[in-house]
Amino acid sequence: MQRIEWGEMLPRLWQVRIEKALTTNAIIYGAQEIVLITGCSSATARQWINSLPRVLPIPLYKHQAQRLVRELTKIQVLANVIFIGQGSSST
């Protein structure tokens, strides 16, 4: 909570790889879950879920990525969380 009070945000170091939607309904509801959890547009979510397998190009917080995978799994979309790094550093 202190980080929020101080205006410090943790880096978004996680992404979601979606392998496959097992049913037509999974595609429809999967796109809805992507919109709800990532905040992207409906058109973008539909485009992503119609071109599987793929890694969603939005970095997320760990809890967001885990929640998205959990919700997708419930509706028969195969997905997993990917750790994408230690954050930005100057080179």
pLDDT digits (tens), the chain, 91 positions: 665 566 678 899 999 999 999 999 999 999 999 999 999 999 999 999 999 999 999 999 999 999 999 999 999 999 999 999 875 544 4
Can you give the pLDDT at residue 3?
Answer: 56
- Domain parsing of the chain, residue ranges: 10-83
Can you give the pLDDT at residue 77?
Answer: 98
Burial of 48 per CB tally in 10 Å (0-12, 13-18, 19+): buried
pTM of structure = 0.85
The phi-psi region of residue 3 (left if phi > 0; otherwise alpha if psi is between -120 and 50; otherwise beta) is alpha
CATH architecture for segment(s) 10-83: 2-Layer Sandwich (3.30)
Sorted by sequence, the CB contacts under 8 Å of residue 13 that are 6+ apart come out as: 59, 62, 83, 84, 85, 86, 87
Consecutive H or E run containing 54: strand 54-55
Can you give the pLDDT at residue 1?
Answer: 61
